[in-house]
């Protein structure tokens, strides 16, 4: 997967050089390319923002510079300047914003199927809306929110999304099964919070690991884990239980 990120703070993405994402890049699973938005601002001060039409606080990012940057990043491949990833002519353009659709595990799985993503994290009060209108159809623009709180810019949201998508790519996580057991993973754990985890020692400061987990009885262990997931979900996120497909609950679940 190719990932392009255009930002006035490309250094914000240094964390993508470490750990799982760093290894995925070394192994060519993820091809992340960073671009400094100001490289397309031609005035002497390399200005990227201006005052909002209609008044209001803060500044808005100018459309011209974003347009030139996106054309350069997308066009380079389309113009045959280099091999577009897996024949993708155009990337999916993802715009972090507090007013976007919720970014969920389902959206992460959707993005993980794309050969090429373009993230456009903004600063100030956001990007002139005409940029999303200009690329909306051709780049299938998706405005997404990572949560109901306001960040100072989109970069942290991009870090979150690249990690959530990157870990779903084949070969990134050592033990593929752990993706299937994720909270919100499709299938048995869909819409359930995962239960508690333990490792050695069996007793630590007087706290014992639940006996069942030491029993080696895999059927009972799976049952216990599902019960714990249901209990935790009912306690912390009851609204998720309402989304559960009743057919996915067996008679044991129902008596909980």
| Cα dihedral sign, 63-69-74-75 | positive
Q: How far apart are CA 145 and CA 166, in angstroms?
A: 18
Rg (CA), the chain: 22
The span from the CA of 211 to the CA of 46, in Å, is 63
CA–CA distance, 229 with 225 (Å, rounded to integer): 6
Q: Name which of 8 and 192 has its Cβ closer to ligand JFH.
A: 8
Considering 64, 98, 194, 253, which one is annotated as catalytic?
Answer: 98
- Residues ≥6 apart with Cβ < 8 Å to 78: 84, 89, 90
CB 151 within 8 A of CB 100: no
For position 102 contacting ligand JFH by CB under 6 A, the verdict is no
CB of 96 to ligand JFH, least distance (A): 4
Write out the binding residues for ligand JFH, residues 151-170 only, by CB under 6 A.
151-154, 157
Q: What is the 3-state secondary structure (H, E, C) of 118-165?
A: EECCCCCCCECCHHHHHHCCCCCCEEEECCCCCCCCCHHHHHHHHHHH
Q: Does 63 bind ligand JFH (CB under 6 A)?
A: no
Least Å distance, CB 109 to ligand JFH, is 19
Per the residue annotation, which of 142, 155, 182, 225 is the catalytic one?
A: 182
Nearer to ligand JFH (CB atom), residue 85 or residue 98? 98
Per the annotation, the verdict on 98 as an active-site residue is yes
Q: What is the smallest separation between the CB atom of 119 and ligand JFH, expressed in angstroms?
A: 11
* Residue 125 lies near ligand JFH (rule: CB under 6 A): yes
Which residue among 64, 85, 98, 184 contacts ligand JFH (CB under 6 A)? Answer: 98
Binding test (CB under 6 A) with ligand JFH, winner from 23, 72, 105, 145: 145
Residue 92 Cβ vs ligand JFH, minimum distance, rounded to whole Å: 17
Specify the residue for token string 């280099």.
Answer: 82
The reply to whether 96 sits near ligand JFH by the rule CB under 6 A is: yes
182 in catalytic set: yes
Binding of ligand JFH by 146 (CB under 6 A): yes
**Residue of the chain from 122, 139, 164, 172 that contacts ligand JFH (CB under 6 A):** 122
Q: How many residues does the chain have?
A: 256
The catalytically annotated residue of 25, 38, 46, 167 is 167
**Contact positions with ligand JFH (CB under 6 A) in 18-57:** none
List strand residue ranges (DSSP E) for the chain, in order: 2-7, 31-36, 49-50, 60-61, 92-102, 116-119, 142-145, 203-204, 207-208
Strand order in the sheet with 116-119: 31-36, 2-7, 116-119, 92-102, 142-145
Give the interface with ligand JFH as residue ranges (CB under 6 A). 96-98, 122-126, 145-147, 149-154, 157
Catalytically active residues, by annotation: 98, 125, 167, 182
């Amino acid at each position: 997967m190719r990932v392009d990120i255009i930002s006035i703070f490309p250094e914000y993405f240094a964390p993508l050089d470490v750990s799982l994402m760093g290894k995925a890049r070394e192994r060519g699973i993820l091809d992340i390319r960073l671009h400094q938005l100001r490289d397309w601002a031609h005035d002497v001060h390399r200005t990227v923002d201006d005052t909002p039409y209609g008044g209001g606080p803060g500044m808005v990012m100018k459309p011209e510079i974003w347009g030139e940057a996106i054309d350069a990043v997308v066009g380079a491949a389309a113009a045959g300047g280099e091999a577009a990833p897996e024949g993708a002519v155009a990337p999916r353009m993802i715009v972090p914003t507090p007013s976007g659709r919720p970014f969920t595990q389902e959206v992460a799985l959707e993005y993980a199927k794309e050969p090429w993503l373009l993230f456009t994290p903004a600063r100030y009060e956001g990007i002139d809306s005409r940029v999303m209108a200009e690329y909306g159809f051709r780049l299938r623009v998706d405005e997404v929110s990572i949560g109901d709180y306001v960040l100072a810019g989109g970069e942290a949201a991009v870090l979150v999304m690249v990690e959530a998508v990157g870990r779903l790519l084949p070969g990134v996580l050592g033990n593929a099964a752990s993706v299937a057991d994720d909270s919100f993973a499709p299938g048995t754990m869909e819409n359930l919070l995962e239960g508690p985890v333990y490792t050695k020692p069996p007793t630590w400061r007087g706290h014992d690991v639940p006996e069942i987990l030491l029993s080696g009885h895999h059927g009972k262990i799976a049952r216990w884990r599902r019960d714990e997931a249901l209990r935790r979900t009912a306690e912390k996120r009851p609204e998720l239980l309402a989304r559960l497909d009743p057919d996915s609950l067996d008679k044991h679940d129902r008596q909980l």
